[in-house]
Amino acid sequence: MVCCMYRDLPLSFFNRVIGPVPVVLISVGYLKGKRSIMPCTSVAPISLTPPYVGASIAKTRYTCKLIRELGDFVINIPTWNFTRLITELGMVSGSEIDKFEYFNLTPLKAKKVKSFRVGEAIAWIECCVEKSLSIGDRVFYISRVVAVYAREECSYDFGVKWFSEKPVLYLGDLLFATGFAEYYRCCDVVYRR
């Protein structure tokens, strides 16, 4: 029997207990001359076949409004060198400034959606919204993945070269980390029933 002391945490800390979580940049294209980009830590695969992704975005975010109106977005995959920019992108609203211009980011046309992607990212996932759910202070977008691609030098047959391209992980309270100080490779062991 395991017995230990424990500490109750505020319910609002549940996301810190789940963490660390990956940070992505969500971009949404021109809409009446507007576009926006925001950091997001609430993105997850929800189906592999067919491919679907879920993204949870605060209702107050300008990006949320544009996604609702446009119906698509791009998940841009940043690396560790984006960490300061990630924090800054989250502190200003795209309704007030063009974040691409202000932060000197390169907007590139996406392959299959209307939204633009961030040229400085290492990989991109293009998404078409199929359903949105209003949950508390968030909108959860269930989106079909229509294109996935990565920079040639950052990818290989199984995806992104994460050991050379350090991912950005969010710990909460504006603390970031990269995840490869230690790792465990589970692919060496195959379990059979």
Q: What is the pLDDT of residues 83-129, one digit of tens each?
A: 889 989 989 999 989 999 999 999 999 999 999 999 999 999 999 99
Work out the pLDDT band at 41, boundaries 50, 70, 90: very high
Q: Report residue 71 as tokens.
A: 């119906």
Question: Which amino acid type is present at position 191?
Answer: Y
Beta-sheet strand order (sheet of 24-31) = 34-40, 24-31, 72-77, 123-135, 138-150, 52-58, 43-47
Q: Domain ranges for the chain, please list them.
A: 19-185
CA separation for the pair 42, 141 (Å, rounded): 11
Which one has a higher pLDDT value, 160 or 139? 139
Point out which residues pair with 31 in neighbouring strands.
34
pLDDT for 72 beyond 60: yes
pLDDT for 186 beyond 80: no
Domain 19-185 has CATH 3.40.50.1950: no
Tokens 């990818």 locate to 155
pLDDT for 188 beyond 50: no
Which one has a higher pLDDT value, 124 or 157? 124
